[in-house]
Amino acid sequence: MELSKRVSALSPSSTLAITAKAKQLKAGGHDVIGLGAGEPDFNTPSYIIEAAAASMRDGYTKYTPSGGMPELKKAVADKFEKDQQLTYREDEIIIGNGAKHILYTLFQALLDEGDEVIIPAPYWVSYPEQVKLAGGVPVFVKGAEDNHFKITAEQLEDHVSSSTKAVIINSPGNPTGSMYSKEELMELGQTALKHNLLIVSDEIYEKLIYGDASHVSVAQLSPELKEQTVLVNGVSKSHSMTGWRIGYAAGNRSLIKAMTNLASHSTSNPASSSQFGALAAYTDDDGSVETMRQAFEERLNTVYDKLIDIPGVSCVKPEGAFYLFPNVKEAAGKAGYETVDDWVEALLEEEKVAVVPGSGFGSPDNIRLSYATSLDLLEQALERIKAFIEKKNAES
């Protein structure tokens, strides 16, 4: 069968081969430690589960408005007012089937054939593919590792063309965990205003921040930047609700309306029970979110020092999310591997540790380790990685 050009042009996920091999080894009885998880390892807080179950028992199992229930939109608006001191009306908010689908819908509503979107690298794997599916062209800008993988306003300026429509800012970021400061965001924002670029601000990891870091949204910095920004967020990471598929966006009324119209012809609406769960997530609080955040911070602080003590490994300490993104180029090179991807495959084969190669994120010298797993397993995995590198160094 001849497939569409848009689907045929998609790049396969770089994680699929490793994931498939890890599952195969596990099925064969091997003790595989997987550090590829992009979701919290905690269950959804019980008060959220109970709220969703109650909604179903009470008969709220029918269609909702395509852009989401008014009650949930109000709760999201209240969240923005509380956390970012930003005011949004109901018609400036859309609820969707996870932040990923919100982004997909956004690019479909925004882009025409050949429109360019500037994507800082390292990047979340779906950004470029979603841009391509909308007929757009991803333009990558490399964030220097010694700048915590962040791009500068000068770099943004250098990559703007007459076809540039938008720029993506992901802070805290996946896969790096890095965050932009208020000053950095202001500089990037001024460049975006100068060239009339829409700022797509992906803030899905906003609640998972550690140490003295604090989250700042670019939309907070001025009324002009608020108008020029679409905020994307959701409950998946903050409330451990990845499978519930509830995300949302807030921004320009005409863009939100276009996204809502598109949703009405594609998904109808997010699942009603999931929306009631998300409503409880934002209107009730039993302390679970902070408990999870503290657990992630403890894991980060415990494993980071052990990671950077491993020969041939360097790592920028993340400020948010739940990923470490170490550079292992030296370790892979000393062991005789041509690419880090080959090194990752050998690590899985020999030591049964599954990590995600950085090539899929636009950073081929790095790997992504998720610390969304138990501290015991994390420490075991680091011991195996260290043993693997020492063994390879002895052989070379």
Residue 14: strand, helix, or coil: coil
Note the pLDDT of residue 15: 64
Note the pLDDT of residue 283: 97
Q: Which two tokens stand for residue 179?
A: 């965050």
Distance CA 6, CA 192 (A): 28
Note the pLDDT of residue 21: 82
**Over the stretch 311-320, which tens digit does the pLDDT of each residue have?**
999 999 999 9
Residue closest to 307 by CA, chosen among 350, 368, 351: 368
pTM: 0.96
- Cα 359 → chain centroid: 16
Note the pLDDT of residue 16: 66
Low-confidence ranges of the chain (pLDDT < 70): 13-16
Q: What residues are paired with 356 via a beta bridge? A: 368
Amino acid at 54: A
Are 189 and 221 in contact, with CB atoms under 8 Å apart? yes
307-311: list long-range contacts, CB under 8 Å, 24+ apart: 307/369, 307/382, 310/382, 310/385, 310/386, 310/389, 311/386, 311/389, 311/390, 311/393
Note the pLDDT of residue 14: 65
Note the pLDDT of residue 9: 84
7: Cβ–Cβ under 8 A, 6 or more apart, which residues? none
User: What is the number of residues in the chain?
Assistant: 396
**Over the stretch 54-113, which tens digit does the pLDDT of each residue have?**
999 999 999 999 999 999 999 999 999 999 999 999 999 999 999 999 999 999 999 999
